[in-house]
Chain A
Amino acid sequence: MDTVRSIEQEQMKNEDELDFRVGDVVKVHFRIIEGKTERIQVFEGLCIAMKNAGISRTFTVRKMSYGVGVERVFPIHSPRVQKVEVVRNGRVRRAKLYYIRERVGKAAKVSERIKRKESKTVTPASD
């Protein structure tokens, strides 16, 4: 089983680069390949879920686009996810924010998490 582990480890990104949690508003820089040209698309929204599954770990980002809710699932370790920027930290008490889907307007808001100065924020559960 160790060989399989090491193969996965090789493809995984550094944990430090992925310093965001469920509840944060994030900007996902996603590489899009169109024929020969390559460009980067930014998808900004609320991170509502994270599925921890080793190499196939994913996170879900939800945003409102022209009044319609749009959700995208990104594999964290995919080379196409170039970087994930945190716009705003959110304070939540759930691991999965699926309840947000039924809410609109102010009810769908997540309050801000204030980072303490001294203690380093804990990175989301890793594998």
Chain B
Amino acid sequence: MVGLLGKKLGMTQVFDENGRVTPVTVLQIEPNLVVGERTRDKNGYNSVILGAEKGTNISKPVLGQFPDGTEPRKEVVEVRDFDGEYTVGESIGIELFDNIRYVDVVGLSKGKGYQGVMKRHGFSGGRKTHGSKFHRANGSTGLAASPSKVFKGTKMPGRMGHDRVTMQNLQIVRVDQERGVLFIKGSVPGVRQGFVLIKRAKKKG
């Protein structure tokens, strides 16, 4: 597994050599700092802790985990079973993606607020016309006298979005080392200027 933190800059389109248009998301990857590591002997598993985006006003408990002589970072993430040897204090750049064609992207989806059951869970809803009085309501939430309760986890209206979402098998269209940006085909979860974790695709070479 390899992965890096990146920032979503926005979407645009690129033309390929045949003039075909590909919609792409532009992700900026500044060199990630190796903040720490976990080893099998000491912690029971292997992983690398990465930090991105230099920042100020970082609380002391967070500040404590950065090695001496490095600037603290705002975003910190742990990637398990990181391929290759890296020492604490080192930086990993965008070159990591040079030979990778597909990636998984983990992000925090946009918050949608309080939503009904049709948008939130994809319920069909009822007819709009022909005397129908059932439009966008959720309908029945369960059985009657037995069990005389609504089961936990029943799909109902509520807060939607702002979830951790992983999108798998996204194609890398281009790696632009000069600008330090990655072009990924299609969309990626989250707001612009938001952070995403980009990992090598688990299910696709």
Contact = CB atoms under 8 A, between A and B. Distances in A.
B21 A8 contact: no
Nearest to A54: B12
B181 interface: yes
Contacts of A1: 9-10, 192
B10 A8 contact: no
A3 B21 contact: no
Interface in A1-26: 1, 3-4, 6-8, 11
Interface residues of B, number: 17
B179 interface: yes
A75 B22 CA distance: 13
B19 interface: yes
B32 interface: no
Interface in B10-46: 10-15, 17-19, 21, 26, 28
Contacts of B10: 1, 4
A75 B21 contact: yes
Interface residues of A, number: 16
Nearest to B19: A80
A7 B21 contact: no
A4 B19 contact: no
A11 B9 contact: no
A78 B22 CA distance: 12
A3 B18 CA distance: 24
Contacts of A6: 179
Nearest to B17: A79
A6 B179 CA distance: 10
Interface in B42-90: none
A79 B181 contact: no
A31 interface: yes
Given A11-B14, A55-B12, A55-B13, A3 B19 contact: no
A77 B21 CA distance: 10
Contact of B18 (A4, A33, A55, A56): A33
B173 to A, nearest CB: 11
Contact of A8 (B12, B19, B179, B192): B12
A4 B9 contact: yes
21 contacts: A1-B9, A1-B10, A1-B192, A3-B9, A3-B28, A4-B9, A6-B179, A7-B12, A7-B26, A7-B179, A7-B181, A8-B12, A11-B15, A33-B18, A56-B21, A75-B21, A77-B15, A78-B21, A79-B15, A79-B19, A80-B18
Given A3-B26, A7-B181, 7 more contacts: A7-B179, A55-B13, A56-B13, A78-B19, A78-B21, A79-B17, A80-B19
Kindly list the 9 A-B residue pairs having the minimum CB-CB distance in the complex, ordered from nearest.
A80-B19, A4-B10, A79-B19, A78-B19, A4-B12, A4-B26, A4-B9, A3-B9, A8-B12
